[in-house]
Structures are given as C-alpha cells and as structure tokens.
Amino acid sequence: MSGAVVLLLVVVGANVARAQPARETASSEFRSGYGAAQAADGIADGSGNYWQTLQRQDKGAWWQQDLGRVLNVQGVKIVWARYEDKVHCPPASAVIETSLTGEEGSWKVVRNIAPEEIPRDEQPYDADRQWLYAFPEPTEARYLRLSFPDGEQPEAKYPGFICLGEVEVLAPGMQPRIVTIEGSFGRAEVNVTFPAVVRLYLRGPGGMNVHSLLAQSGPYPWVRGSCTYVVGQDGRRYESRLTRPENVELSEEGGRTVVRIRGVRLSAGRDEPPVATEDWTLSAPGDGSQLVWKIVRRWERDFASVMSGSPALFFAFHVPQSSDATTSHSVTSTIWYDPLRIAARPSVTYAACNWDWCCRPRALSKNHVQTVKDRDTWAIYKLWTDWHAPADLRLEVEGGHLYRRGGYSFVSEAGAVTDPDAVRTCRAGQQDEITLKISAADKRTTGYQLAVDLPDKDMETSLTDFYGSLFNGGTINDQKGFDYGNESDGFYYSGASWAQALALAAGMPAGGQVSSHPYHAAQAFREHLAHIFSLVDDQGRDHFGYNHSGQWVECQLLTILATRTYLLHSGDLAFVRQNLSTLERMLEYFIQRRNAQGLFSLDSPGAHWYYDDVGTSGVNTYYNAFFYKAAGDLAEMEAAAERVEKAGEYRELARSLHAAFNALLWKEDAPGGPRYLDWIDVAGTEVAYFCDLCQWPAVAVGLASPEQARKIVATADRRIAELEIQYGYHGGASLSALWPVPQKPPESWQNYANGGHGLSPTYWEILARIRAGDAEGAHRRLKRFAERAARTSWVGNWFTMQGQPQAAEAYLADMVVVPAALIYGILGVTPSWDRLEVTPCLPAGWPRAEADILYKGRRHRVRIEGAEAQIEPLEQVIDLPLAWLMDANLQQTGPGNAATVSNIDFGDGGSLELTPTPDNRDALGIWKLDEDDGTVLDAGPYRKHGTVLGEGVSRGQPARAATSKSYRFDGRGRVAIQSDGGVAVGPYTPHNDSLTFSPWESFTLQCWFKTEAADTQVLVANASEYCLLVSGGKLAAWIMQDGGQTGEARGSRLVADGHWHHVAAVCDRAAQQLSLYLDGKLDTPDGTPAAENPADISTIAASKWPASLTLAGLGSRHPLLGWLDEVSIFSGALEASKLSFRQDYPWSYGDPTVNYTATGTYQSPTCDWTVPAKLVDLTVAAELNGGQSTATVETSADGFGAVRSHVEIAVRDGVNRYPLDALQGVSREIRVRFDLVRGNRADQTPVVDGFRITGEPAKETPGK
C-alpha cells in the first residue's frame, strides 16, 4: 500500500543482552584509525581502511568480535587489507576460534586457514574475489576470534605487521552493519553499527554513477565517508562513527528504507564520554529525489567547537599512484555562490601538505574553510571527478549553513553546520536541529558547457564531459576570491589566465540555476583579472599568486591575451577600458627590454617560464612569440576603446617584432629539420631541441609563413614517428621536447619538460597544425587527447612520454584549454572586436559540425557544412554592469593606490576589523609537545596550533623532566604550524601567523632537544627568514633576507651527544646581533662573545617571502633525528636569565584576551571607471557584533580634488543591498569610507567582509 509504514527490524537499547551490538578487540592496535573496529565498519574494500597491529607484534596476534548474543555461526568472509591497490600485510596463516562466554579456556578451534587460502602480500588487489571460510559444521557462539600464530608472511614488504580489511560473520540473525537507502537521488549505504554513510552514489540522466563520491580512505583516518563531528579547541575530534549507538530502527515508507538511529555519540574514541548525543533519521521521502538526513543533537557538557560537520561528506583529492587513474577516485568541488555571501578562513588542518611549496602561503589558496553566510539555502556542488560522473551534488540545508572545505592534494569536504562562526560555544542541555537534503543534478544543465554537435560522438562526449567537469568543478582554487588556479585549493598564478580565458570563451552558460545566489563564471573571471591588475608594480610586473616575486614575467603577456579573450567573449569594454593603463604598463616592461635586433632579451639566466626546471636566457622564442601576440591584442583593445593613436603604436610594434623574429630565430638548417631556434642565450649559443612552447605558438599566432609552418610540422612529424617507435610515445598530448634538452642529464629524458608533457601546450599544437593546413594531424592529436580523457580524465599534472603520471598534483587545470582547440582550431571560429568569422578546417569524415558560442555576450550558432559556415546571432546572454568588488582585495588596487586606515586591521587579509590589542603579546608561540595525539597545541595566547606531517613522529615520549613529555623524530616527519601568510609591516599582530618579522623587530627562539646525529638537522625554522639547527654536531642559527643574504651565528660545543640540551637563538635588532645560548650560557668556549657568536646582522633586512613555521625540519628538508620539547618564540630579545632553561613555561601562558579599539576608519582606494557612470547600488557584507558601521560613498571627476556628491549609509548586519539614488549626477571616480564603532563589549569588533558597487555607463565616450 503506497505510503504505508512497515516495521522491518527494531534493535532496542544496548542494555538488553540479546540486542547488544558487536564489539571488537585486538591484541594490539597500530594507532587511532587502525583499531580493531576498522575491520568491522562495513567498508569492505577501502584502500587504507583496516585493523593493523603494532610493528613486531604480529606473531600470536589476534582479533576478536563480540556478536552481542549467541548465534548459529556458519563461517566468516574476510576482506584482506588493501593499500595502493595491493594486498597489504596478510598473515602467513590463521586460526578461527569461537566461544560462548569469551572466557579463557572456553575457546575452541573451528577452522584453520592454511597459507594457500590467503592471498600473497603485495599481489594485485582483486575486489571481485571473495575469501569465504565456511565451517565444517555450524557452531553456536557469541564470540569469534581470528588468531595468527605464525605472524607475517615471509618476505613481506612491511615486515612485522598484520592487517585485516573487513571481517563478516556469516550467521542468520546477525544485525546488518550496512543498510541501503535507494531512490531517484541515487544510493546511500549507511553503517548503522558505527553511524556513518560509507558510500554515496548519485543517479544521473544515464543511470547511477559507477563510483561512490565519498572517500574510502585518506591521509588521516577521518578522511573517509560521511559522518557528524565536532573539533574542540584542543584539536580533538569527536565523531559519530567511533562508538555504537543506543538504538537502531529500520522501517519502510513508500517502498524505501527509513533508518532511525538513536543515541549517536559524538566521542573521541570507544571508551570516551560523548560531548553530545544525536538522533538521526535518514530517508528518501516522496518521489525519492532527495536523501533527507535529519540530525537532532543534545549537548552533554559545555563545549567550544572550532570545526564541525552536521553532517560532513569527505572526498578524496590526491595524486594518482599509476596511469590507471580509474582506481584513484579523486573528487573536488566548486560552489558558484556569491562570494560576498561566503565567509572564509585558513585552517591548519586543511593546509596539511608534504611539499615544501605548501609552506609559501601566497602560492596557494589560504581560504581552506568556506561557509555560506545565508541560512537555509541550497547550492549545486559542481564536481571534478577522475571518472565520468553525469551528476553533480546538490545540497539543501534547513536549520543551518552549507560549507565547503579543502586542502591541496589532500581532501575536499562538503556539508552543513548549525552555526557559521569560527568558534561556537555550546552549553550542556542545549539542543540543535539540522536537516541536509542530498540530491543529484544533471551536470549538463548548470554551469558552463561545451555546446557542440560533432559527427564523432565519442569525441563529443569525451570533450564535453572533460570540459564541463574540469571547468566548473576544478578550475577555481579559492572560493572566496574566486581566482582561477592550477587546481582546487591549490596553486595559482596569472600565467594560466590565457588558458582559462580561452576555455571560458569556448563554452556556453547552461540555463539552469547553480545556487540560490549564483555567481557567473564570466563575472568571476573579471574579478580574477582585477586581482591580477591590483598586484602589477610600477615596472609592469605582476606579483600574483606564486609569482609574488615577479620573476615569471611571461605572466604579463599571457594576462594581456586573457583580457582580450574575455573582452570578445563578454563584450565588457568598460572593464577593459578601465584597465588599459595597467595593460600598457605590463607590455612596456618588454618594450623597454628589446635588444639591438628589436626582440625581448632576458638578461640573466633562470627558469622563469612555464618550464620552470629548464634554464633559459637571452632571446627566447616563447617570450617573443607572445610578445608579438600581446602587442597585437593590446592594439585591438585600444582600437575598441577608440584610442586610435595607441592602437597604431602597438600595431607597428607587432609588425617590427614579426620581422625581427623571423630574421633572427628561423633556422633552416637546424639538426633534424627546419624550425625556429628555441632560444639564443646571453653568450650567443643557439639552442634548438624543439621545445613545444617555442615552436607551436609561433605558428599558431601567425609569426610563421605558410611555408615555414608546413616545414615545422614536417620536422615534428618525422621526429614523432621516431619517438613512437623508439620510446613508445602515445600521442595523447604534445611533448615538451622532441630532442633532449641540452643542459639536462640523460636520465631525465622522456620526463617532465625534457620530453614528457603537460597538457595545455597541446592547444597550441592543434592550432599550429590547423594554420599549417594539417587538418588530419590536428584532428588526430585532439582525438587521442579525447580518448585518454574518456579513460582517465587525464588525472595527474605531468606525464612521461609514455603517458605515466609523474608529478605531485592531482591535475593542472590549464589543460581545460585543450577542448577549446576544437572551437578555435578545427571549427575555425575566429572572433575579433570588429567581426566574428569562421574558417572551418574539418578532418576527412566530418561532413558537418555545429557549435554555440558567446561573442560580445550574445549567443551565436555556428553551422558548418563542408567548407561553408553560417553564423546565426541569437539572444544576449551576458550583459555585465559596471562593477567594483572589494572583497579579498581590500588594501590595494594598483601602484600608489592603497587604502588609508586609522585603527583598522585587515582581518585575514580580506575583511575590515578594529585594531586588536592582545593583553599579552610577548609569547608568540609556545609548543610544549606534551600531546599523545591530535593537534600540536600552542600554549601561548595566539593559539597557533600545528599538525604532524609525515611518518616517524612518536609522541608522548619521555622528556628531560619527569613531569613533561616530548616528540621523537626518526628523520621522516615534522610539525607544521598554522600560517595565513601575513607579512609583518610593523609590530607583531596575531594575523601575522607566518611569524615573519620586520627589520626592527627582535625575537627569541628556544627549545629543548636531544640527538646523537651530527648531520645538519633543523630544530625550528621559518624557511624564508630564520633557522635554528644542529650542523656538524654543533649549534647554528641564521636569519636570511629573501632567500639570499644571511647572517649566521655558530656555537662551539658538541651537542650531538645523546643528552638533553636547552638552546636559544636571540635576534636583537637594537644591537643588530644574533646570539646562540646553550644550556643558559652563550655558546662560546668561555661564555663571552667570540668571532662567530654573536653574529652581526646589521646588513640583513626583512624577508618579503612568508613561509610556515616548521619544527624538526626546514620544510621537508634537513629533518631531525632525535627528540624535541618545549619549543617557543617570544617577541623581543630575552635576557639569559629569562630563558626557559631553568623552568618550563606553563600551559595557557599569558592572557589570550584581545580587546579592540573603540573606533576606526577605512578609506578605500579610488575606483576610476574611465567613463561617466550613474551609480546603482552598494552591497555590503558585514557582521556588526553589537557595534556599528557607516558607509560613505563619494564621487568625483578630478581625482578627488573635490567631492562631487556623497551619501552616508547605516550598514545593517548581514549581506544587504543599498540603492544609491541619492547620489547626484554621473561621475567617473568613486571611493567608499567605512567608519566602525565598537559596541559595549571591548572584545568584539564590527567586521566588514567586503562590498560591491554597480553602475551604468552614462553613454559611450571616445577614449583619451
């Protein structure tokens, strides 16, 4: 009967003996996350999810389960442990025993498992193989034990361990661990024994996704499945899946299962008391289109939470282990939600990364935690997956807020929270209620899509899926700044903007809405360009992302290309006109550095280009090809803005570059065949190994004549034929080098930039082949690319010549440009500001093709029949208003155009707060290293906690004092302290989490350590500025300026003696000395100043390169082999009598209270729209916290020599829009002032998170 409720099974409270759920115990457990319960958690084949013994505790090891009541057991099914898709640490043999009571002497052997019945260690893992061990006859038992008398298998890869993946007892009446809920949303597998959703499959238009979205394992035990959790201020995690619930009830409604779980305990472990208890209901009501997860939480005690998920869905986001990417199941996401409605912050938990570059916060996204400020909202999480997934994830919350979190090559997380605050204090007895509705959304109906109709349907399907998944789900690296980057939550720099712009322009926005407050991809790209422009210096160099040093000057050229592409796609001439002066300055950098032949020349050697492990210098073909292209593109933008004289100058520049390029760089008799030189170095040496980025773009942008283009293609094809035969080149993407790079060692050939390949240069090869008339070659390369994309999604960022992934990133998002080669190459779509032209170059077998594109914001349908093309203009899709967004870019919008402030602090670099004044500011960090597990806690007032990275860190070890503990490092692991990348520009503030000091700030480093190793070992370091270490068995310390000039102090006494020592490095900027103290005395032969201690540091300025603080290593280099304890950093140069040699610092050192100034003012930089405009509205995101904020909008026409009009607005709490009708007339220039006033509480501040002003041009006006 439809809608009837059928009770299937009731498991009553745990106090009833016959209904007690099973419990698992073991002889030993490796550590948290590898306990006995892992072998009975319902995850049967998860890689890295298993019980594991302690090392050398394998012989005689046992694993035991209490079934809860006496059952008729018929056998067991064992899923052996899986790691990196191989069988992991199975035993040599096993014995199955049962008991009715569990008491010693009651056990009987019911089955022996012989060696031949167990898979071999490290053999390929076969998920379809079942290992069933039936008993000779059924036996009555309540307890079951697996014992391993012989221990490990001989010659095991990881000796001394036993691991079990999953044990399933075969007995009628055994309570199910996994319950399935299925509907049109897909399928969810719920673990009712340890409450969690272990797998989630979405159902798309083509059926069920082949893989679960949820991580099955990760670098930490909590990175798997879906559960509820909270994290305390001490870093301890309390999860729903660590203990059993009180009660499970299964029923049926409308033919679908309903799961009710009562008494779900949020605890830190099996025997730990819960901080809260929850009741869950999971169902798929109505038409089954949503999985509805309702959670009612009751707090058992007062608790302050710094992170939570109610629930949390964890996705694996990691580097592939092999070329068979179908086994990696990586997932990441993007929510296209108005960034003014998103709160974001850094997190040490999600910043965990083992690559040294991750210690450079400006290189990667710092906004790891993103929470939607709107309550009761919805969003589609656009997904990038490493398999074909036709459905995206739609989440809708009632009673809370959606969030997204992520860490570079680590984890991606989605879910809901009841409160968006960073720290939430709950009281015992308090109750929360929240509901998350999970559903599937057809990928093709939202976001940007590649809108093509091709005769080759396999290619069409592959390219559209590849494009839609990557562009929508994996190109945004920062959900707050909405910057396009290398990958989600990862690296970003402006040099990739050309690829992302072309990908944007190749696509079409689908008709569906992506969230309740959507953010358009073109709008996001405009702000991305604005962020780049705001960081262009007076010389024209940009300092955006990991190019903060400005050394990759190619970025200026590629950003010019990106801006022109954006203009033709959107028609947003007002934005381009507004930034023409910046674009001119970027190109001028190259104009000023032309040599006698008229080409750009690199003065000093370096790897300052896309192939950043290949040094180049002098006249590089890559730079000059894009110099030519950028000159032509800027000429076109100047003409569009009616700046006729400037347009003519740049056209003439392009013509002169064209002539000089071919006169100097063409090499008719180059070894292997005619082509351009790759470069001529500063010594005049010609380099010609056929670098793809030096050859293909020169053809694609029109520098090569038709004859030269054909010769280059012929040279390449001859060599490619050889490489296919000799080395097995697979042809799926362009090779970085067709001959070995001269300066590289022979063993590096066929890898990375020396004959391996990235992917985005494939775009230039396809366009070059089209320009050379090689339609078949262009089609062949794109088809092979599409075939590999369909099979593996090209997971991996660099590949060997044979196609093996080889680098440390899950993908490089700039590869999304390759499908654009279909539009701009094979289909021949050629837009300019004056007209849209189509010159098709279809391969044989393609009689026709069709595509929709945007040109100046208007949809155009391109129909191709043979060599003929028709262009049909359709509706206007994009019509962006004038807009000025100050969000993550509140401080500066260009050289000499910084904000002015009074008593205002830039909170996290992207919000306005009153200036904080901590009551005690001296103890910048105290890490006592007393914890046994979890977060590395900071006992100082700033609470800059840390994370253990890598293996081989033993915690809770004896220290030199009986009342203390320490960490032991075996040379593999280290501790990373949280960092938000702030740069000190004055006295220390809590936002300078990188602990980088200005040239007038003194500081003191201290720690206790013990080692016997005399090699170089780092104790404490900020990789960009200072380091305390052991070198040659003695102490040393240095401070450094920007990776160059250093001042070093060296000790005199041997410390690698196996004894505990106290060390202090005192940087005294008043005396301009760096001093080393050992065990309370100056480390010199007689305790008085000597030649090397103290050291003179008067010539060492401050470093501009912030980096994370690390303990026991310089990043991952020079690791410590020994013990470490009581690490601290204090402001000021401490006297010897005040060092911690005599007495440890206490926990909760100093008063963590922070008070705020009473009032403050922020005056924004000036926005010049370059055209008279009527202002429409102001949107402000603010949290008043009991205080007040007033926004004053002012306009001017003379650089604010005079204010034309102004309006004052009382800012309300939340995200609100305010009309600007009261402003009189039209103006080119605007600025905004915010006055903040604290409320009654001195420890709270109003916060302005960002603002946006929109306007309408008064009329089109000629350029200057």
Q: Which CATH architecture has domain 920-1152?
A: Sandwich (2.60)
Q: What is the pLDDT of residue 246?
A: 95
Q: Residue range 1141-1156: average pLDDT?
A: 72
Cis preceding linkage at 311, omega within 30: yes
pLDDT band of 408, cuts 50, 70, 90: confident
Q: How confident is the model at residue 1042 (pLDDT cuts 50, 70, 90)?
A: low
Q: Are 377 and 335 in contact (CB under 8 A)?
A: no
Segment among 243-257, 753-767, 919-933, 1108-1122 with least mean pLDDT: 919-933
Which tops the pLDDT comparison, 317 or 6?
A: 317
Of the two residues 1146 and 12, the one the predictor is more confident about is: 1146
Q: Which stretch of DSSP H or E encloses residue 652?
A: helix 644-665
Query: Are the C-beta atoms of 531 and 889 separated by less than 8 Å?
Result: yes
pLDDT score recorded for residue 1153: 67
Helix axes 692-700, 706-727, angle to 10 degrees: 150
For residues 613-640, average pLDDT: 97
- 978 or 572, higher pLDDT: 572
Structure-block tokens of residue 739 = 């001959």
Inter-residue long-range contacts of 751-754, CB under 8 Å, 24+ positions, other chains counted: 751/798, 751/800, 751/801, 751/806, 752/613, 752/798, 752/806, 752/807, 753/611, 753/612, 753/613, 753/614, 754/614
Over the stretch 698-752, which tens digit does the pLDDT of each residue have?
Answer: 999 999 999 999 999 999 999 999 999 999 999 999 999 999 999 899 999 999 9
Tokens 């590629």, residue located = 558
pLDDT, tens only, 891-933: 777 677 788 999 998 876 678 999 877 655 678 889 999 988 8
Q: What CATH number does domain 882-915+1156-1257 carry, 3.40.50.300, 3.40.630.30, 3.40.50.12780, 2.60.120.260?
A: 2.60.120.260
In our burial notation (b when 16+ CB lie closer than 10 A, e otherwise), range 126-158 reads eeeeebebebeebbebbbbbbbbeebbbeebee
Place of tokens 């949390």: 312
Q: Is the pLDDT of residue 1211 over 60?
A: yes
Q: How confident is the model at residue 31 (pLDDT cuts 50, 70, 90)?
A: confident
Model pLDDT, residue 12: 33
**Secondary structure class of 1040 (helix, strand, coil):** strand
The 10s digit of each residue's pLDDT in 798-808 is 899 999 888 66
> pTM value?
0.85
Local structure of residue 729 (DSSP, 8 states): -
Q: For tokens 């060692």, name the residue.
A: 745
- State the pLDDT confidence band at 558, using cuts at 50, 70 and 90: very high
For residue 475, give the 3-state DSSP assignment.
coil
pLDDT, tens digit (0-9, with 9 covering 90-100), for 178-223: 999 999 999 999 999 999 999 999 999 989 988 999 998 777 788 8
Position 923 scores a pLDDT of: 82
Strands 276-283 and 291-299, how do they pair?
Answer: antiparallel
pLDDT for 173: 80
Going by C-beta distance under 8 Å and a sequence separation of 6 or more, which residues neighbour residue 604?
A: 617, 682
Q: How confident is the model at residue 488 (pLDDT cuts 50, 70, 90)?
A: very high
| Domain residue limits, the chain | 22-174, 180-445, 455-820, 882-915+1156-1257, 920-1152
Tell which residue, 596, 602, 818, has the closest CA to residue 696.
818
Give percent of the chain above pLDDT 90. 72
pLDDT at 329: 81
Out of 2.60.40, 1.10.3470, 3.40.630, 2.70.98, which CATH number does the structure's domain 180-445 have? 2.70.98
CATH assignment, 455-820? 1.50.10.10
Written as one letter, the residue type at 280 is: W
Residue 371 structure tokens: 């929470």
Q: What angle do CA 894, 897, 900 make, to 5 degrees?
A: 135
Check if 22-174 and 882-915+1156-1257 are the same fold: yes
- pLDDT at 317 exceeding the cut of 90: no
Task: Using the Cα atoms of residue 1107, residue 1108, residue 1112 and residue 1115 in order, give the sign of their dihedral.
Answer: negative
Query: What SS3 class is residue 442?
Result: strand
pLDDT of residue 1103: 66
User: What does the pLDDT average to over 1110-1115?
Assistant: 89
DSSP string, 785-849: HHHHHHHHTT-SS-B-TTS-B-SSSS--GGGGGTTHHIIIIIS-EEE-SS-EEE---PPTT--EE
Strand partners, 864: 849, 869
Closest CA to 100 of 138, 60, 143: 143
11/1011: higher pLDDT: 1011
User: Is the pLDDT assigned to residue 1023 strictly greater than 70?
Assistant: yes
As its CATH architecture, domain 22-174 has Sandwich (2.60)
Beta-strand relationship, 858-865 and 868-876: antiparallel
Cα(142)–Cα(69) distance, integer angstroms: 5
Give yes or no for residue 324 having a pLDDT over 50.
Answer: no
Q: If you average pLDDT over residues 277-293, what whole number do you get?
A: 98
Q: Residue 1218 corresponds to which tokens in the numbers above? A: 């305010």
3-state SS string for 265-324: EEECCCCCCCCEEEEEEEECCCCCCCEEEEEEEEECCCEEEEEEEEEEEEEECCCCCCCC
Q: Who wins on pLDDT, 378 or 1136? A: 378
* Tally of CA atoms within 13 A in the half-sphere of 544 that contains its CB: 33
pLDDT of 21 over the 60 cut: no
Per-residue confidence band for 1167, with pLDDT thresholds at 50, 70 and 90: very high
Least confident of 15-19, 513-517, 1074-1078, 1252-1256: 15-19
Angle, vertex CA 406, rays to CA 404 and CA 409, nearest 5: 150
Alpha-carbon distance of 217 to 224, in angstroms, equals: 5
- pLDDT at residue number 810: 82
pLDDT digit string (tens) for 130-151? 899 999 999 999 999 999 999 9
Range in 39-43, 858-862, 978-982 the model is least confident about? 978-982
C-alpha span between 304 and 425 (Å, rounded): 4
Q: Which residues pair with 886 in a beta bridge?
A: 1251
Q: Facing residues of 134 across strands?
A: 75
Confidence of residue 1104 (pLDDT cuts 50, 70, 90): low
